[in-house]
Each structure stands twice: as C-alpha cells, then as structure tokens.
C-alpha cells in the first residue's frame, strides 16, 4: 500500500486507528505480522509533542522503516536487522557519559531521558547509498542532555559508540566493521536543535532494528552518522575516529553532510530513490543538507564542502 505524498502520516493513519491496531496485535499475543514489523507486544506508547521542526512530507510506512535497515551488527542485508535484532537485550540499558563534562558517569537510560521534552520529529532521512525515507521519530534534542551533564570549555567534538555484544549481535562475530561502531559530531552540530537522540518512532519505543533503545538522528547528514544503540558518549578535544571514515576515508568523510554536488567516488549523490514510492515514481533530486540548509548551512560558513565532505 502506497501513500499519496500530499498527506502526513496522521492524516493517513488516525491515531485511534493506529492504537487499536496495535492493541489488537498486543491482545493477540503479538503474533508476528510480517517479518520484524512489530517491536513486540510490550511496545509502550510514548507521548510526544508535535514539533515545528517536522517536515510535512508523508512518512514512510512502519513496515518500510522497520524492514529495510542498515545495522551491520545484525548482518549486512537490508532484512538482517529485522530478522536478527529481536535477541538484543535493551533493558537494562546504560550510557557512559564522559570526557570533558562536569558530571561524568554511567547513567541508566531512564535517567538520560528524565526531564527531556519528548517530541515527534518527522525528518527526511537520506542514506549515503542514495535511498531515502521520511521517519516520524520520537526523541529529544541532544543539546538537552549535553547541557545537563555540563560540557567543559575544551570540548570541541562529541564521540558516540554502539554496544559490543557479539552473543546477541551476530554481525559482530565477523570483522565486517571495526567494532564498536563509532560516530562523531562537531560540538556545534551536536548542539544544533535538529540533532536528536531518538527513543522511538511512530509513537512507540524504538524497534530494535532501528537502534533501540536510543540512537542519534542528524537529518542533514548521511544516515550512517545516525549511530544506533548508543552506550557511550564522550566530549573530546580532537576529531574522533568514525567507523566508515576509518574503513574508507576517501569515500566517507567525517562531516558527511548530504550534498548533491559532491558525489561519492563510486556513484552520484545528485538524486535519491524514496523507499516505498513505487517503481514508477522515479528518482527525486537530493537537496543540499537534505533540505535543511536554512537551518544548518551557517554551521559551515567558510568551509570548502568538497574538501570537508
Ligand atoms: N549504527 C550502527 N551501530 N550500526 C550500523 O550499521 N548503520 C548506519 C546508521 N547507524 C548503522 C548505524 C546507516 S549506514 C544507516 S543508513 C542508518 O543507521 C540506517 O538507519 P535505519 O535502519 O533506521 O533506517
């Protein structure tokens, strides 16, 4: 089933309908309805305020978002995360926050989220592989957490790491990437209001294949910057090592801002394929900073984006 692009997901899926569908499924004991489409019968709804930062483009379906994934800890095929992520233990979950902060420590997830205003952020999401989606994330601004732990004056970057647990993440039993998956942002990028820590999507707890229980979302950068299942956040002085850049620095830069004018060495970045748009939809033009130029272009004033790709 495909949606017209002039509708938002709430037009297409009234909340009451969505809730009753979910309730029905939970009542049926969470019987599987399409591989990986369910976060599980206990998936809790998250109350979230609407945000003016949301796009009015139509979100992809829950099925698209939860069955076409990149999460190499669970395998390299798009269906592997949905097939394998159920085994991941996400409760209890803690995040070690350290480096140049006033209040370092290992914080329980509930403590990380405590007091942060939870919003729905409907964002465009553009993968470096030239496909895209629109995702109704639930989360809060990373700046809220960073302000709470107190960023010290010498800190210029934020480094993130994903959990390492090969017993539950079959992809980690092979050296596909240099585990843990690592990502990083410059401090001003991390503090930007568009940058969120997402704890859910479509009004529910984050499905495991999408990076439960908490992941980064930076909508103006290629999707690989949006690191999943975060267990460590460090405030540091120097630009941190990041997974894809370590693997192939000529192809994946530290910044990785969506930029239709700077091609990947092996393919064009000028256009993208919207997942779920149907085979006759054709490709659409990729927008500078994924359409968020008005909000973020000033962060890069004076930088040569072909060099700092
Ligand atoms: N985070 C971890 N830990 N491991 C990964 O393999 N893949 C990245 C990013 N975050 C990845 C990750 C890539 S390449 C993309 S495009 C997005 O997650 C995909 O997010 P999605 O599956 O929710 O669409």
Which is more confidently placed, 50 or 278?
50
Domain boundaries, the chain: 9-18+47-300
Q: Residue 191: its pLDDT value, please?
A: 98
pLDDT over 90 (residue 36) = no
| 309 closest CA partner among 246, 267, 268, 250 | 250
The answer on pLDDT for 215 being more than 60 is yes
The pLDDT assigned to 42 comes to 59
Region 77-86 average pLDDT: 98
Q: Provide the mean pLDDT of the chain.
A: 90
Whole-angstrom distance, CA of residue 79 vs CA of residue 207: 14
Residue 6 clears pLDDT 60, i.e. is over it: no
Question: Band of the pLDDT at 65, cuts 50, 70, 90?
Answer: very high
pLDDT given at position 279: 83
> In ligand 1, which atom is closest to the CA atom of 69?
22
Rounded distance between C-alpha atoms, residue 124 and residue 69, angstroms: 15
Identify the H or E element spanning 138: strand 131-141
For residue 35, the CA-to-ligand 1 centroid distance in Å is: 19
How far, in Å, CA of 128 to CA of 256, rounded?
8
Q: What is the pLDDT of residues 92-146, one digit of tens each?
A: 999 999 999 999 999 999 999 999 999 999 999 999 999 999 999 999 999 999 9
Return the ligand 1 atom nearest residue 211 CA. Answer: 23
Percent of the chain with pLDDT over 90: 84
pLDDT at 12 over 50: no
Give Cβ neighbours of residue 125 (< 8 Å, ≥ 6 apart): 132, 133, 134, 135, 217, 219, 223, 226
d(CA 274, CA 278): 8
Residues contacting ligand 1 via CB (< 6 Å): 69-73, 127, 162, 181, 210, 223-224, 226-229
* Burial of 74 per CB tally in 10 Å (0-12, 13-18, 19+): buried
Distance of alpha carbon 102 from alpha carbon 107, whole angstroms: 14
Q: What is the pLDDT of residues 164-199, one digit of tens each?
A: 999 999 999 999 999 999 999 999 999 999 999 999
Q: How far is the CA of 226 from the centre of ligand 1 (A)?
A: 6
Least confident stretch, 27-36, 73-82, 248-257: 27-36
Say if residue 223's pLDDT is above 90.
yes
The domain 9-18+47-300: what is its CATH number? Answer: 3.90.420.10
| pTM of the entire predicted model | 0.88
Distance separating alpha carbons of residues 299 and 290, to the nearest angstrom: 15
Distance (angstroms) between ligand 1 centre and the Cα of 12 equals: 27
Q: What CA–CA distances, in Å, run from 287 to 5, 217, 250, 279?
A: 17, 18, 22, 21
- What is the 266 CA–ligand 1 centroid distance (Å)? 20
Tokens, residue 38 = 């369910």
Q: What's the average model confidence in pLDDT over 42-60? A: 91
Minimum CA distance residue for ligand 1 atom 5: 71
83 CB burial (10 A radius; 0-12, 13-18, 19+): middle
**Could you tell which of 95, 181, 223 is best to mutate to test the pocket of ligand 1, judged by most ligand atoms within 8 Å of the CB?**
223
The pLDDT value given to residue 4: 37
Closest CA to 246 of 162, 165, 304, 182: 182
pLDDT number for residue 278: 87
Instruction: Quote the CA–CA distance of 110 and 178 in Å, as a whole number.
Output: 29
């Amino acid at each position: 089933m495909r949606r017209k692009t002039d509708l938002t997901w709430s037009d297409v899926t009234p909340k009451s309908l969505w809730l009753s569908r979910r309730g029905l499924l939970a009542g049926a004991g969470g019987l599987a309805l399409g591989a990986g489409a369910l976060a599980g019968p206990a998936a809790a709804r998250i109350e979230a305020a609407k945000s003016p930062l949301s796009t009015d483009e139509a979100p992809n379906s829950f099925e698209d978002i939860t069955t076409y994934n990149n999460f190499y800890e669970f395998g390299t095929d798009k269906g592997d995360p949905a097939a394998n992520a159920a085994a991941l233990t996400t409760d209890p979950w803690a995040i070690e926050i350290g480096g140049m902060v006033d209040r370092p420590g290992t914080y329980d997830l509930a403590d990380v989220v405590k007091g942060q205003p939870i919003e729905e952020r409907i964002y465009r999401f553009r993968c470096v592989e030239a496909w895209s989606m629109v995702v109704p994330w639930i989360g809060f601004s990373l700046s809220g957490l960073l302000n709470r732990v107190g960023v010290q004056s010498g800190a210029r970057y934020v480094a993130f790491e994903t959990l390492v647990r090969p017993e539950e993440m079959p992809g980690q039993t092979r050296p596909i990437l240099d585990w843990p998956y690592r990502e990083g942002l410059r401090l001003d990028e991390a503090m930007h209001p568009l940058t969120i820590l997402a704890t859910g999507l479509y009004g529910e707890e984050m499905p495991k294949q999408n990076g439960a229980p908490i992941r980064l979302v930076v909508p103006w950068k290629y999707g690989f910057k949006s690191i999943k299942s975060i267990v460590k956040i460090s405030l540091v002085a120097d630009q941190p090592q990041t997974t894809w850049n370590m693997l192939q620095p000529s192809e994946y830069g530290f910044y990785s801002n969506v930029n239709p004018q700077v091609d990947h060495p092996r393919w064009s970045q000028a256009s993208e394929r919207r997942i779920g748009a149907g085979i006759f939809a054709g490709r659409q033009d990729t927008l500078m900073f994924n359409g968020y130029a008005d909000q973020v272009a000033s962060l890069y004033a004076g930088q040569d984006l072909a060099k700092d790709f």
